[in-house]
Every structure is written in structure tokens, then in C-alpha cells.
Amino acid sequence: MIREIEDKDVPSLFPVRIVTRENRMSMEELASIGITVESMRAAIQGSHKGWLAEEDGKVVGFAMGDYDAGELTVIALLPEFEGKGIGKSLLNNVEQWVHSTGCKSIWLTTDMDTSLRAYGFYIKHGWEDFKIEHGLRYMMKKFG
């Protein structure tokens, strides 16, 4: 089941984020870049919105976007749930929401390595490279 992230859900997102197959980050690494339970709660009270996927009451994936920036800020999925269409559904929710806010495109940053699964996932869903900067690959998807 996919549903919108609520304030009470935020702590249950971190166990997913720290075990993703690619771009895995520890709680300490996330905190060092300002990503904490408190900062995520504040974000969803502001310009961010997200969706989570649950199975048997357990969060198995989530994605969030920021309409102020027009950015897909995160998409994370437990490795054992990859390849089931969950990531695609989460991505679509964020894309549709950002588009509905009036944004003409959405962007994200990802790893430079094009052999990673994430890069192929974004390409498959209509995203394109638009710049390389500070060791990151920036990708964009234009709407209609």
C-alpha cells in the first residue's frame, strides 16, 4: 500500500534509508548533512511532501520531493523490495505532485557512476542528464 507520509511516520523512514543498496548512509552521516527526524518532520510541514510503501504495516520504501526547489529529494527502498514496481509508484507520486504545484520540471542529484541501478532507473522513467558538478550527476525530467 502506498500512502502519503505523515508526521508520525518519519522515524520509520530511517531504517529504510540506512540499508538501501546504493547511496547507503548511516544515521551519523545523514545527521552530518542535516537529515534528522526533526529536520524531516519540519520539511513535511513546509515545502516537502512524500509517500511511503508499506507491507504488513512495515515501511519498505519512500520518496519525497520539495516543490520550492522542484527537486526529488530522496527515494529509498529496502533491497528485497526492488523490482516490484514500488519505486516506480513512489517516483510517480512525487513527480505528479511537484508538477501539480506548477513546476515545469523536476530535478535530482545522483552518483556519477552510470553503471549503478539508480541511473538506469531514472533513465527508464524519462529523466535526462543535465550537468555534472561537484562530483554529482544532476538529472532532470521535464513535464508535458
The pTM score is: 0.94
Give the pLDDT of residue 38: 96
Average pLDDT over the chain reads 96
The C-alpha atoms of residue 113 and residue 60 are separated, in whole angstroms, by: 25
Can you tell me which residue has the cell 542528464? Answer: 129
Instruction: Please write the tens of the pLDDT for every residue from 96-118.
Output: 999 999 999 999 999 999 999 99
Give the distance, in angstroms, between the CA of residue 52 and the centroid of all CA atoms in the same chain: 10
pLDDT value for 2: 97
Measured distance CA(126)–CA(51) in Å, rounded: 20
User: So what's the pLDDT on residue 23?
Assistant: 84
Are the C-beta atoms of residues 112 and 22 closer than 8 Å to each other?
A: no
- Read off the pLDDT band of 123 (50, 70, 90): very high
pLDDT band at 51 (very low <50, low <70, confident <90, very high): very high
Percent of the chain with pLDDT over 90: 97
